[in-house]
A = this chain, B = another copy of it.
Amino acid sequence: MSFQQAGEHTPAPFCRRLLQVTANEKVGAYRLLWALDRDAPAPLPGQFAMIAAAQGWGAGVDERPFLPRAFSIARRREDGQCAFLIEDVGPGTARLCALSPGEGLWVLGPLGRGFTPAPAGRRTILVGGGIGIAPLMILQDAILGAGAAVGSGTAAGVGVRFGADATPGESASCVALLGFRGREHAHGASLLHEPQVATDDGSVGHRGLVTDLLERHLGDESPAVVRACGPPAMLESVRAICERRDIAAELALEAGMACGYGACYGCAVPRRGGGYLRVCVDGPVVDAAELERVS
């Protein structure tokens, strides 16, 4: 049995859907927003959705937001409950963070290309910075769930398509390295299984960069692949480290987006060798080798 093809994606229904918010949990500096999305196909880890509040979308600072916003699908249950992890950084995220259960949410997705499973016998090292932990949550769910998968087409207990063809019982190994600004943000670490944490101010875990932890892990152990998401400087650092050590890495990128499905050409990032790729359809997860640098 083979893993799914690299860069495969789950096609999205051709229409945004009106969902209901089912919960809005505070997790330190973040909000975990749950909605029930029964009819959507199971996403791949790393896929995202374009979301907008059904009410009150457009009355924030500067009369914004106007367009929907991109969010990683951070968690998904088999019953269709899905979660977005959100940091309030502007008018769109502010509105989403303020949603109450029962309120409506427009969702388009799952969109983009997700992470691919590690080849057999390799550990997966997850490297997350700040809100970048969101896609690593569902990726870890899928990796840990995949070990117990029984050919249902989705990782067991987790409404996600990922490595579902792996031999039942074959346990995938995975470590999560997470970097945060400080204590408030580091609460996000509670959303992953057995994470190792770094904070800029040393208030939790290692004082310093998450890439310090990465270098340590790559130093001596068994073959690994890296899956990373976080701010551009962190991703660039991860990319450079992995390039130097010749380690396969996939990076989940961000870019300002208007559409999320390849229509506007707004989400361009430079591709190695010239030209641009569209983060929404060529990513958000890209092979680090596709980039000359992350900026």
Contact = CB atoms under 8 A, between A and B. Distances in A.
A58 B55 CA distance: 10
Interface string A39-62: 000000000000000011111000
Interface in A94-123: none
A63 interface: yes
Contacts of A66: 63
A234 to B, nearest CB: 34
Contacts of A59: 55-59
Q: Is the interface of A mostly helix, strand, loop or mixed?
A: loop
Interface residues of A, number: 7
Select the residue from A56, A58, A59 with max chain B CB neighbours within 10 A.
A59
Nearest to A66: B63
A63 B67 CA distance: 12
Nearest to A64: B58
Contacts of A55: 56, 59
Contacts of A63: 58, 63, 66
A242 to B, nearest CB: 43
A217 B185 CA distance: 72
Contacts of A57: 59
Interface in A255-289: none
A135 to B, nearest CB: 29
Contacts of A58: 58-59, 63
A2 to B, nearest CB: 48
A48 to B, nearest CB: 23
A294 to B, nearest CB: 34
Interface in A19-77: 55-59, 63, 66
A226 to B, nearest CB: 41
A95 to B, nearest CB: 9
Nearest to A98: B55
Nearest to A65: B59
A55 B66 CA distance: 16
The 6 A-B residue pairs with the shortest CB-CB distance in the complex, in nearest-first order: A58-B59, A59-B59, A56-B56, A56-B59, A57-B59, A58-B58
Given A58-B58, A58-B63, A59-B59, 8 more contacts: A55-B56, A55-B59, A56-B56, A56-B59, A57-B59, A58-B59, A63-B63, A63-B66
11 contacts: A55-B56, A55-B59, A56-B56, A56-B59, A57-B59, A58-B58, A58-B59, A58-B63, A59-B59, A63-B63, A63-B66
